[in-house]
Amino acid sequence: MKNDKRVYIFDTTLRDGEQSPGASMNTEEKIKIATQLQRLGVDVIEAGFAAASPGDFDAIRRICEVVDKSTVCSLARAVDRDIIQAGESLADAKHKRIHTFIATSPIHMEHKLKMSPEEVIRRAVAAVKLAKTFTDDVEFSCEDAGRSEMPFLKEILDAVIEAGATTLNIPDTVGYRLPQEMGAIIEELHGHVGERAIISVHCHNDLGLAVANSLFSVMNGARQVECTINGLGERAGNAALEEVVMAMKTRADVFEGIETGINTKEIYPTSRLVAAITGIEPQPNKAIVGKNAFAHESGIHQDGVLKCQETYEIMHAEDIGLETNRIVLGKHSGRHAFKERLEALGFDLSPEDLNKAFERFKLLADKKKEIFDDDIRMLIANEITNIPQAYELVGLQIADCSAGVPSAAVTIRHDGEEITDAGIGDGTIDAIFKTIDRISGHSGRLLDYRVEAVSQGKDALAKVVVNVQFDENNSAVIGHGLSIDTMLASAKAYIGALNSYLSMIPSNCQIDSCEGV
């Protein structure tokens, strides 16, 4: 941790990213993302907030079982219960870190904590000392450091270093600071701390400056950047990992030899996996991973790129894992070509899972003339969530007309028994969902419904994402459905949300606040 040219990448997609409205993930989905983050080369994976719920605790514990290269981290307030649960959740981790925090800005100390600065320091020191009993790798965060007073920041950082903290995080929690200001804060704190600990930054994007603030921080001595895939996070999100990493790589002339351990060829596969699981797509013009990031429509631009790629592209698509050439897959494609394509897209499946995926692929190929990469990504992402299938869609029949009443007949398999029922609704989708509610006995409240074409063509797969709340005491869950038929995809998505909810029923013990940094 003493290489001055090495910037450590701390990914908080599974913690801060999951706090994006509508981005909640079940345990199996978190495990898949954590595995991919390790493949990406992330140094630290913040796997969750162990004290938030039994579900978070279990997800962290299970991630520790499969991640052996990256450090697995749990967030904890400067509260004994939080830290103890974080330590217990990380018990089986090969490399583990506890990340504890407390607010340090005057507005937070007065109005939220209702504590004096002296009390805050005592609480911080006690938290770090307790965390040290579980691991030597302890990170301390000054929540709302961007609006904290410099003398107090120095005082509390000195105290937690003395208590054993090895990484000091300076979050711009509300995205308030400008790049020059953030750079100046880090420069002064880095000069004060010296070699005693690593300085980290965690920038939010409320003013659209999270990446710029992170980069200015690196230029001024920060050696850990906390970020998320696709810039997910609360409110306007966090610094986007892909933008931070590719900015430093592309402008190596400015960053003068600074490097990360990120395998940039895994950036695009990771982005697509996170988008598929959360149902939150990056906007088309999103830097690095947006669908238009390497697209050229202008004739002048097309001519320039064809003559010399560098005329209008400052990085190569291949650098982030996009392939410029491809093998066209269809119903005549064999298992070998399919397996090669999966590996190129970043999927490493067991022989059993490969067989299942190939069967799904062949079924789809019978209905589509050509299978595109996005079809394959969505097909695999739709299958890798190995939650228990308490309910399974067997059949669907719908009726709708301008002068009639929309209705749906649904057959579902549950406990080995097929159950059929029919119902009416305000529309076809409403009729389907109400019928599923009646069959299952679980009534859901639909918070969001989205449908989009996965690829091009009139035979494109329809991807349906629903956000449903089945219990007012639990947060909403996401369901995914995939089919050429939109109604069928909708039914699958709703049943998927129901199964996800049932898999997490024990995880209903939420704490009052887990915003953290």
Cβ-based neighbours of 331, under 8 Å, separated by 6 or more? 362, 365, 366
Q: Annotated binding residue at 499? A: no
- The domain ranges of the chain are 8-255, 392-503
**pLDDT value, residue 508:** 40
Closest CA to 375 of 479, 515, 272: 272
Model confidence over 214-226: pLDDT tens digits? Answer: 999 999 999 999 9
Say whether pTM exceeds 0.85: no
Residue 444 three-state SS:
coil
Q: Annotated binding residue at 202? A: yes
Helix or strand run (H / E) with residue 354: helix 351-365
CATH of domain 8-255: 3.20.20.70
Cβ-contact 305, 299 below 8 angstroms: no
**pLDDT value, residue 513:** 44
Cβ-contact 99, 169 below 8 angstroms: yes
**pLDDT value, residue 359:** 84
Alpha-carbon radius of gyration of the chain: 24
Residues pairing with 199 in the sheet: 168
Low-confidence residues of the chain: pLDDT under 70: 1-3, 295-307, 309, 312, 323-329, 368-370, 374, 381-386, 401-403, 456-459, 505-516
CATH topology of domain 392-503: Double Stranded RNA Binding Domain (3.30.160)
> With helix as H, strand as E and coil as C, how does 380-414 read?
HHHHCCCCCCCCEEEEEEEECCCCCCCEEEEEEEE
**pLDDT value, residue 364:** 77
CA distance 162 to 65: 32
Q: Annotated binding residue at 426? A: no
**pLDDT value, residue 1:** 39
Cβ-contact 391, 410 below 8 angstroms: no
DSSP 418-430: EEEEEEE-SSHHH
**pLDDT value, residue 484:** 84
